[in-house]
Amino acid sequence: MRSLRRSLLACACAFWAGAAAAGPRDADFFNISDAHMTEPTAENGWRLSRDSVDVAKSVIATVNKSRPDFVLFSGDVIEGKRYGMKSLKLATETLSGVLPRWFVVPGNHDGHYVKKEATLDEFDKARFIEAFRGHGPEQGKGDWRYDVPGKEITLVGLNTSRDGESSGRLERDQLEWLDKVLSEVAADRIVIVVMHHPAVVFDADIVEPSKKMLKIFVLENGDDVRAVLERHRVVKLVVSGHTHFAGHMEKNGIQYVSTPSINSWPCRYARFRLRAGTLSVSYESIPQAGLIEESRRGLLSGDSVWMEVFKSSDAVLRYFGKNTERFAVRL
């Protein structure tokens, strides 16, 4: 097992150096998650709200230099929950700077939080979906399929968010749509699924401090979702965000990868390279070291919800800071 892992990591290093030629089932891509973009009049805390747009622009500029095949955004593109939909124009303008093909799925912060202090107009997720039509969402729906030109790779995006809730799920009609779409994918293709809420529990540590947080962090009907995915052997990878930490799990032949937030510590995004059936994943830091430290301090402040959950600074840092090492697996 150790020799296999060393071999995979050695191959991964060669891949990152550009040693292998890209074939029809090979790809370079990124997932940028939980940008929580809002206007620069907001204040920084454990989230970098004031600097959210600048952080996103800097990450996009770095990603563009790598010339990937495509870029994914796995939800919470804007901070609609707290600041409303006024951030939507900023977000669409910012993401228009992505040079490769790029695709979006909605997250729970991307709209429609109907609270006493909010209006439906301020939190209308339909506006978010419409704004990103052509980059995944079509005809007012957040679920989509895209066959990458020149590749034997199919992308499937799922809208796991629920109006007015932090938790996520896929409704019956969505599960039926997913089952139908996957059944139509040719057997020689690879399917990569992107969604906001994870379909697996990446870390049981969250169960101990708060069962409420576990419910919020994972799809309410994750078992049902995985059952559909596992019926189709073309599904090889599921990419998610929402948790703000890095996670990886293999379950019944499918690789599940969670991407941290670029907007809160450890302020990272995921880089994927697929070569000859080996998937290499690394978690890249945003370029602003000072903002990373500012977010870390905010995470440990008395106003941080995570200090309430985990009770100690060490536990918070251990939870969000682990699993960020580069790894490689066979698909």
Residue 4 has pLDDT above 60, yes or no: no
CATH of domain 2-330: 3.60.21.10
Q: What is the pLDDT of residue 125?
A: 73
pLDDT in tens, 66-80: 999 999 999 999 987
Q: Distance (Å, rounded) from C-alpha 303 to C-alpha 45?
A: 8
pLDDT at 211: 62
For the chain, give every domain's residue range: 2-330
For residue 126, how far is the Cα from the chain centroid?
20
Q: Is the pLDDT of residue 21 over 80?
A: no
Give the gyration radius of the chain's Cα atoms. Answer: 19
Query: Angle at Cα 101 formed by Cα 99 and Cα 105, nearest 5°?
Result: 120
**Does the model's pTM come out above 0.85?**
yes
State residue 206's pLDDT score: 59
Rounded to a whole number of angstroms, the distance between the first and last alpha carbons of the chain is: 16
CB 27 within 8 A of CB 292: no
Read off the pLDDT of residues 215-246 as tens digits, 9 standing for 90 and up. Answer: 778 899 999 999 999 999 999 999 999 999 99
Q: Which residue has the tokens 């006493």?
A: 116
- From the centroid of its chain, how far is CA 58? 18
Q: Which tokens hold the place of 211? A: 């069962």
Query: What are the distances in angstroms from CA 189 to CA 26, 154, 178?
Result: 11, 7, 16
- Mean pLDDT score, 283-289: 98
180 alpha carbon, distance to own chain's centre? 24
Site of tokens 């990419």:
239
Q: Are 45 and 67 in contact (CB under 8 A)?
A: no
Please check the confidence at residue 303 and state whether its pLDDT lies above 80. no
| Mean pLDDT, residues 16-21 taken together | 42
Residue 43 has pLDDT above 60, yes or no: yes
pLDDT greater than 50 at residue 297 = yes
pLDDT tens digit string along 171-185? 999 999 999 999 999
